[in-house]
A and B are shown apart, each in its own frame.
Chain A
Amino acid sequence: QSVLTQPPSVSAAPGQKVTISCSGSSSNIANNFVSWYQQFPGTAPKLLIHENTKRPSGIPDRFSGSKSGTSATLGITGLQTGDEAVYYCGAWDNSLSGGWVFGGGTKLTVL
């Protein structure tokens, strides 16, 4: 059971837009930055969004992040088949059982 809650899967057609939600609590998302990661099979997670909304150099602006209260959302526009991957949200948790916490991952299928 992951501390952050994500839908197990989402799907959309090429060229369309998809959003992936990430729900947490006051000890993590509400009071700390949210980051998003993309992972292809057999490879390490790659940073897509940091500090809620910022894209690292080289990440296309088709990827966007937002946060409100205890939830965050990753948006991907102009879907491409190459976007098929598992997406994770992450945040620091300030509770006694805290540290970095992650969502269970969302498998994106581009139909």
Chain B
Amino acid sequence: QVQVQESGPGLVKPSETLSLTCTVSGGSISRSSYYWGWIRQPPGKGLEWIGSIYYSGTTYNNPSLKSRVTLSVDTSKNQVSLRLSSVTAADTAVFYCARHSTWFGSNDYWGQGILVTVSS
């Protein structure tokens, strides 16, 4: 059974860079046919996709965030990472890591999420 766990600081200062890691267990992140993505949810609001990365390093990014987002993968650690630069209070959200297929059938495995608050 694939398990997904997000980790990182819960508090980031405005204008700084948010850095999160997603650790996958119970399955290899290098398994073909699956991307690993980041989705965020501001408090009380809906879901917003941030971007996705394949084990080879190929990425898809949300154009509205693209200039601030860096995705990376470390297959040796079975991890993917997210960096979001120049954060503001509007970036406060629960950040989820989730797996989706290359045929975009669904986001099937999700982490529990991590709340990141942007505040001085």
Q: State the A residues within 8 Å of B (CB).
A: 2, 32-33, 35, 37, 43-47, 49-51, 56, 88, 90-92, 96-105
**Smallest CB–CB gap between A25 and chain B, Å?**
15
A46/B110 contact (C-beta < 8 A), A32-B104, A100-B37 known: yes
| Closest partner residue, chain A, to B103 (CB atom) | A33
**Smallest CB–CB gap between A50 and chain B, Å?**
3
What 10 pairs between A and B have smallest CB-CB spacing? A50-B106, A35-B106, A92-B104, A100-B49, A102-B47, A44-B110, A51-B105, A104-B46, A33-B105, A50-B105
Q: Interface residues of B toward A: which range?
A: 20 to 34
| Closest partner residue, chain B, to A103 (CB atom) | B46
Interface centre among A2, A51, A99, A101 (most CB of B within 10 A): A99
Are B62 and A105 in contact, with the CB atoms below 8 A? Answer: no
Contacts of B106 in A (CB 8 A): 33, 35, 47, 49-51, 90
A44/B46 contact (C-beta < 8 A), A33-B104, A50-B105, A50-B108 known: no
Contacts of B96 in A (CB 8 A): 44-45
Give bound CA distance, A2 to B41, whole Å. 13
Binary flags per residue of B50-82, CB closer than 8 Å to A gives 1, else 0: 011000000011111000000000000000000
